[in-house]
Amino acid sequence: MTVVETRAESLRTQVPFAELAARTTGTLAVPGSEEYDALVSPWNLAIPVRPAAVLAAQSAEDVVAAVRFAARHGITVTPQATGHGPIASLIGALLVTTKGLDECVVHPEGWARVGAGVKWLRVVEAAAPYGLAPLSGSITDVGIVGYTTGGGLGPMARTYGMAIDRVRAIEVVTGDGVLRRVTPTEHPELFFALRGGKGMLGIVTAIEFDLVHQPTFYGGSLWFAGEDAARVIKRWREWSAELPELGTTSFGLFQLPEVPEVPPMLAGRMSLSIRYLWTGDPTDGERWFAAMRDAAPVILDDVAHKPYTEVDSVHTDPLDPVPCFEAATVLSDFPAEAAAALLDVAGADSGSPQILIEVRQMGGEMARRGRHESAFCSRDAAYSLLVVGITEVPGIEEHAARVLEVMAPWTGGHRLPNFTFTAAEYHDAYDEPTLARMRRAVRTYDPDGVIAIGHALEA
């Protein structure tokens, strides 16, 4: 039995979780029960999520009961919807899974209301008949609440900005056990902190946000052989520097396994994917993208005029849970020297063990302050850098550290909250004035420190 499992077992015998089960409509499970493993399973299988108990909330009232129960018994609580973003050290004794909060209403006039358990795909499909689209993430299988409270950097960010800038209202159970409706005028300090603060103030039960008119897009992914990465990235750097804000782009260095779902021309080799989404006239989008098509011999071209329901084709992120190690930072620039340094450590001849290294261009509308100020502090970054590897591969963490080390001369700005993988890294996601405001909000709305994620703000 691991240390985490031992602690969970000890708490299970000390805390009367049966009392919470009697006060709620959702299923409550403890280690050893039939339901426990299914309820706590995260998307990243490498992260141990082993709380002393888990409650599958069926209503906002269940969440209120859970938070008040945790406060009475001196334990911490953590929410989990899809399980994409857990941090092991910030998992409380009680896990509240919000998958059962599945309300999803799209209003034809251009906004949506969803429960905390809803993934982007449901909104994308519900909005499509009206020619509308949400500012969804790089894959629509991700939960809306976690993505949005972390800022929400999606494949249309340079055109429409961050998902947090489209939020109308958030309903949240704060650490003091009160269900609040939060808007720019109702509890404005919470509205500030929740948008960028990754749920450090409470457990979100529902969120309302504006949609954009985007029935179709021109885009997808264009693939090259890894051996051609140097000249393709050179072209991408020059081309993206001139790209209008109607286009959002990134590139990924992939090493995909030989499995049936991977196209044969990409499997078992290093490849380079140029991701592109153009929100304007598709003819203009095709004209702008022509420069990338002749950068080198193309091995797979999936860039075309598509309905927004096919937005997952841009980033081609995996659906199935995997055990992975992730590391990330933001870059203030990505000059030729940075590209060369990255390829030295992660290119075709480098021996890199990573399954993905992504560089995403930022800027455009996302760099502008939203209509309402928020706790998101990463708008000045020029690029984001993400490293993803499978944990079973030897040396994966050491190599990821090496990638970040060689990119250090161009690292600058505050890291993206959604690309933050340890508790200590949260301090790098915020400037000092924002940290001070968030800490004041925690003292006001969670004086007993019930919300486990909020402890990441401790000095």
Is 116 found in the same domain as 264?
no
Q: Which of 66, 97, 128 is the last residue of a domain?
A: 97
Mean pLDDT computed over 87-100: 88
> Do 297 and 222 sit in the same domain of this protein?
yes
Q: Are 229 and 347 in contact (CB under 8 A)?
A: yes
d(CA 118, CA 215): 21
Q: What digits encode the pLDDT tens for the residues 278-297? A: 999 999 999 999 999 999 99
pLDDT at 4 over 70: no
- pLDDT value of position 378: 96
Residue 405 lies in a domain: yes
Tell me: do 15 and 111 sit in the same domain: no
252 CB neighbour count, 10 Å cutoff: 22
Q: What is the pLDDT of residue 258?
A: 86
What pLDDT sits at residue 459? 62
Q: Check residue 177 and give its pLDDT.
A: 97
In the chain, the number of structural domains is 3
User: Do 336 and 411 belong to one domain?
Assistant: yes
Within a domain: 7: yes
What distance in Å separates the CA atoms of residue 37 and residue 57, rounded to the nearest whole number?
16
Tell me: pLDDT of 5 over 60: no
pLDDT digits (tens, 9 = 90+) for 213-224: 999 999 999 999
Residue at 285 is within a domain:
yes
The whole-number pLDDT of residue 189 equals 96
Boundary (domain end) residue, out of 33, 68, 97: 97
Show Cβ contacts of residue 151 under 8 Å, excluding neighbours closer than 6 positions: 162, 163, 164, 195, 196, 376, 378, 416, 417, 418
The pLDDT of residue 92? 92
Counting residues of the chain whose pLDDT is more than 70, the rounded percentage is 95
pLDDT of residue 2 exceeding 50, the answer is no
In a domain, residue 206? The reply is yes
Non-local CB neighbours of 85 within 8 Å, separated by 6+ positions: 146, 150, 198, 418
DSSP of 364-393: GGGGS--SS--S---TT-SEEEEEEEETTS
Tell me whether residue 3 is exposed, middle or buried, using C-beta atoms within 10 angstroms of its C-beta: 0 to 12, 13 to 18, 19 or more: exposed
Q: Is residue 397 part of a domain?
A: yes
pLDDT tens, residue by residue, 51-88: 999 999 999 999 999 999 999 999 999 998 876 666 77
Q: Which of residues 89 and 6 earns the better pLDDT score?
A: 89
What pLDDT was estimated at residue 42? 73
Residue 34 confidence class, pLDDT cut points 50, 70, 90: confident
Q: Do the domain assignments include residue 452?
A: no
Residue 228's pLDDT band (boundaries 50, 70, 90)?
very high
CATH number at 26 reads 3.30.43.10
Calpha distance 194→181 (Å, rounded) = 12
**Are 88 and 119 in a shared domain?**
no
Question: What pLDDT, in 10s, does the model give residues 248-270?
Answer: 999 999 998 888 888 889 988 99
Judge if 120 and 249 occupy the same domain: no
- 181, pLDDT greater than 80: yes
Tell me what pLDDT residue 272 has: 97
How confident is the model at residue 90, as a pLDDT? 79
Q: Within this chain, do residues 230 and 325 fall inside the same structural domain, yes or no?
A: yes
> Could you say which of 97, 123, 148 is where a domain stops?
97
In whole numbers, what is the pLDDT of the chain averaged over residues? 93
Same domain as 281, residue 403: yes
| Residue 247 in tokens | 């286009």
The DSSP annotation for 99-136 comes to TT---EEEETTTEEEEETT-BHHHHHHHHGGGTEE---
Considering the domain architecture, whether residues 281 and 352 belong to the same structural domain is answered as: yes
Residue 340's CATH number: 3.40.462.20
Q: How far is CA 151 from the centre of its chain?
A: 8
The arithmetic mean of pLDDT across residues 339-348, rounded, is 97
Please write the tens of the pLDDT for every residue from 368-425: 988 999 999 999 999 999 999 998 899 999 999 999 999 999 999 999 999 988 888 8
What does the alpha-carbon distance between residue 137 and residue 154 come to, in Å, rounded to a whole number? 4
> Residue ranges of the alpha helices (H) in 15-95?
17-23, 36-40, 60-72
Q: In which band, very low, low, confident or very high, does the pLDDT at 187 lie, cut at 50, 70 and 90?
A: very high
Residue 298 has pLDDT above 90, yes or no: yes
Specify whether 142 is located in the same domain as 238: no
pLDDT of residue 392: 87
For residues 121 and 136, state if they share a domain.
Answer: yes
**Looking at the domain assignment, is residue 91 inside a domain?**
yes
305-338 tens-digit pLDDT: 999 999 999 999 877 777 889 999 999 999 999 9
Asked if residue 458 belongs to a domain, the reply is no
Proportion of the chain above pLDDT 90, given as a percent? 81
pLDDT the model gives residue 84: 61
| Together in a domain, 360 and 255 | yes
94-113 as b/e: b if 16+ CB within 10 A: bbbbbbbbeebebeeeebbb
pTM: 0.93
pLDDT of amino acid 1: 41
Write out pLDDT tens, residues 105-137: 999 999 999 999 999 999 999 999 999 999 999
Identify the domain containing residue 112 by its residue range: 104-213+429-446
pLDDT score of 41: 79
